[in-house]
Structure 1
Amino acid sequence: MLVEETRASVVDNVHLGHIAVVNADGTLLYQYGDPNYMTYGRSALKPMQALPIVETGAAEHFSFSDADLAICCASHSGEERHRSRVRAILSQIGKDGHDLECGVTDPVNKTSHEELIRSGQQADPVCNCCSGVHAGMLATAVYLGENTQGYTHADHPVQQRVAEAVADVVGLQLKDIHTGLDGCDIPTYYMPLKHLAWGFARLARPKGLSASRANAIERIVSAMDRRPDMVTEKNIYSAKLIRAFQGRILAKEGAKGVFCLFDREREIGIALKIADGGAEPIPSVVNEILHQLGIGTKGPLEELTSYDREGIKNAPGHIVGYMEPKFKLVRA
């Protein structure tokens, strides 16, 4: 059990899950639950999935800015600045929203969704929270002269490059990774939680990777550090975490209870999976992990104390209960 969710001082729900803390060598340092728990990495893998955008030369050829690369790693909220940036990338590569194969969803951001409705516009693939990574993948196909149709398919050169990059960074053989389809129709990768954590440790320090891959990692991570506003909505916990630590920590959430981060100073990666797939307990769990590891407790983490024991609010805004972390990390 990771968290007890209380209401009126009694336990209303419990949330089970698993944690792995790994260094850049791949050594498991701390755990809770099962560090070998198998899970899809989902959107937490986007910084790795974006590496071929730099490695192929597409980013340099199309003069991608930090904002461009950050949106290519994003689970954005569909705000106008996000949609405009994706459209700018598509314009740079001679494509438009109809070329994206991520499907149509409404903007996640409620205000942006309402503005879209009031303007008489309809949602299109650019509104999808994954449109940035799709635009980046398209850019590699355009740059290399490949067929852009079907770029989401596992056997397309675009996805073959992505799969190789992900496997390399997380320290697994490609043949040993099971793949499924993510919500936006690109492959997602099923692996032990500790390898997700190792991948994030290597984003902090690319130990054991080629010089070209290490350079690509530095370019991607720097872009996300400099433009967290492009990676997600500014009031999302992961964005607050990045801002509070000012480049020391980079965090990326995935769907269904996946959350990963690295600490550049300690050169460690942390991966978390909420077993029921819910996202609500994640901020309290991550804060507690950082407290137990002594990361930022006298400084950055003080800006996020509201998440230590996060209040649960009802529709009128009254606090009716709390998320109560109930775990203790164990040395591996």
Structure 2
Amino acid sequence: MGEFEAAGELVTGGLLGRAVEPRAGEGHGHEAMCLNCGTALIGSHCHQCGQAGHVHRSLHAIGHEIVHGVFHFEGKFWRTLPLLAWRPGDLTRRYIAGERARFVSPMAIFLFSIFAMFAVFSWAGLSPPTDLRSGGPQAQIEAARKELIERRDDTLQKLRKHPAGDADHARLQSRLSEIEGTLKQIPTFEHDTKAAEDEGFRAATRISGWPLLDHGIEKWKKNPSLMLYKLQSSVYKFSWLLIPLSLPFVWLLFFWKREYKLYDHAIFITYSIAFMSLLFIAITVAAALGVSAGWLTAAALLIPFVHITRQLKQAYRLRWWSAVLRAFVLTHFISVVVTMFLLILLAMGMTG
């Protein structure tokens, strides 16, 4: 199922990116007349009603739209990607200066890269474990009881398939006796729980004294696997929070330079996060292909710092020593931002 989930997330990311990406700079043939209002066309869009002059009217076009959604950038993507990888600061500066139709917009490539990253993670099997058990002894005992009951039921089904004279009958009967004997030795909490309910007593976890937080802690204790799954799902659904969380820290690096506005920093951050997502995709695919863990670790540690340094130098026209110093400070800021982001997601999961 991981491959299907990966394909679904990839298509979703592409379609979301297509939804926010301006359709400028994408050449298509078009009709002579607008099919919506009948106005004579003088370009790719009707100047009267705004409808595109090029429309799809075939079953093949549906598949084309999906593929176009996944690789919705067309030629723009292949013009943007090399700059994003090697000249990220130039890409940032040119987009801010108004050169928009030539490149994929920051938010479009951000959405696509985030969804594509989690699609690749799903394909590679990087997901939260599903067999986590809570740390309480009662929960562990109940989990062991459930596992033994499943084994007992499975043994009973096999036992019905073998008559009394069968060679496997005695072996299965012996296994069934062992399981039932073990079940009898496991303590049960049903009587205590029922007695407490009869007396009108309801146990509550009291750790912090804040009911909302204690309720969240109880949810983690009861089903940590589900909470981890929700946390992973929230990471890419709320990944856009990384942009406003990072904005004050990037502003601190240039607050005395009035020529750089918050908008400039937001474009810088969005392109940077998009590149990091694409880098994680490349590293995950390389790991699946058997590339040495040492090389991948070195790439994961070195490439982000080099990329941030180059983007700072090119986007803000810094000298090398100034860019390296700011990149060093920014990497520490990033750890703070990621911690804040995870804490927000944890709080949302525990209180939601």
Give the structure with the larger helix fraction.
2
Range class of TM-score, shorter chain: under 0.3
Q: Which has the higher contact order (CA 8 A, sep 6+)?
A: 1
Higher share in strand: 1
TM-score w.r.t. the length of structure 2 is 0.25
Which protein has the larger Cα radius of gyration, Structure 1 or Structure 2?
A: 2
Q: Under a length normalisation based on structure 1, what TM-score does the superposition of the two structures give?
A: 0.26
